[in-house]
Amino acid sequence: MKQSIFFIVLLFSISINSQNKTIAPGEKLVFTASYNISGLLTDIAKVTMETSEVKTSKSTLMRLKCSAATFSSFDGFFKVRDLYESYVSPKTLTPYLYKRDIDEGGYYKFMQYTYSPKSKTVKSLKRKKNSKGEFWEEKNTLNIGGSTKDIVATLYNIRNLDIDKASPGDTQKFTVLFDNEETTISLKYIGKESISTKLGRKECYKLAVSVNKSIKGSNALKDSNSNLLWLTADANKIPVLAKFKIPVGNGELKIASASGLKH
């Protein structure tokens, strides 16, 4: 489970370059993650997505933070403490710095990307821990496409898409940088559907998500018919439900609360 369900959860929000019309600092979305264990869908973790304003000596950025932690009752089986964050332009959500710090069942990895948008390069830092508990580092400079972003920088941009103008069956592809590799994600619009949520009954945009085979060692989300996302069909486009299927099982992500919304 090194390619954990929490990475997969993040894949349910993929983006393109656009003006940010939807996301503001101070937003907080809390989800409950469930996984199929012995035929029963069991709540195993809390996933939190939140935004905040960060001022530097040169500019003001927005921090996009995504964290996941298994509930204490599940820690003994497979303890997860994951943090993904990206520092982006508040106007365009263009990333400048990305950090990923994961601890999953004793497997630890830290990744950092420092972007140079003009040269279309990224300075990458990877830090891992060996079987003796010793840390080692690997540094690289990567060439990326002009629209390539990390998983968190792309996380919120889907909510800026004009989904209301899409027709059922419309598909778009995006490129995400993950573990120093560019990966293609496909997003297909299925149509509108009303569902019951913790926020009440919501009319939603229903989308299907799939990933190509380039993610190293992973068969995650290949079947788009089994990997679905529901966004509220309003100005906020809140992700309220996701269903995913992977080789080792299936699960769901459900909204628990939402605050600080822009609209």
Nearest to 89 by CA among 27, 156, 141, 144: 156
Residue 127's pLDDT is what?
95
Mean pLDDT, 10 residues at a time, the chain of 263 residues: 48 54 96 91 96 94 97 94 96 94 93 94 94 88 92 82 92 89 90 98 95 55 72 96 84 97 96
Q: How far is 145 from 152, CA to CA, in rounded Å?
A: 17
Q: What is the distance between the alpha carbons of residues 156 and 163, in angstroms, rounded to a whole number?
A: 14
At residue 37, the pLDDT reads: 84
The pLDDT value recorded for residue 86 is 95
What's the pTM value of the predicted model, to 2 decimals? 0.87
| Structure confidence at residue 249 (pLDDT) | 79
Q: Which of 151, 147, 175, 106 is nearest to 6 (CA)?
A: 151
Q: Please tell me the predicted confidence (pLDDT) of residue 5.
A: 46
In the prediction, which pLDDT does 39 show?
86
Task: Give the pLDDT score at 18.
Answer: 61
Burial environment of residue 180 by CB neighbours within 10 A (0 to 12, 13 to 18, 19 or more):
middle
The answer to whether the CB of 163 falls within 8 A of the CB of 237 is yes
Domains of the chain and CATH, by start: 5-259 (2.40.360)
Predicted pLDDT of residue 13: 40
User: Residue 187 has what pLDDT?
Assistant: 87
How far out from the chain centre does Cα 57 lie?
28
DSSP string for residues in 171-236: EEEEEEEETTEEEEEEEEEEEEEEEEETTEEEEEEEEEEEE-TTSTT--TT--GGG-EEEEESSSS
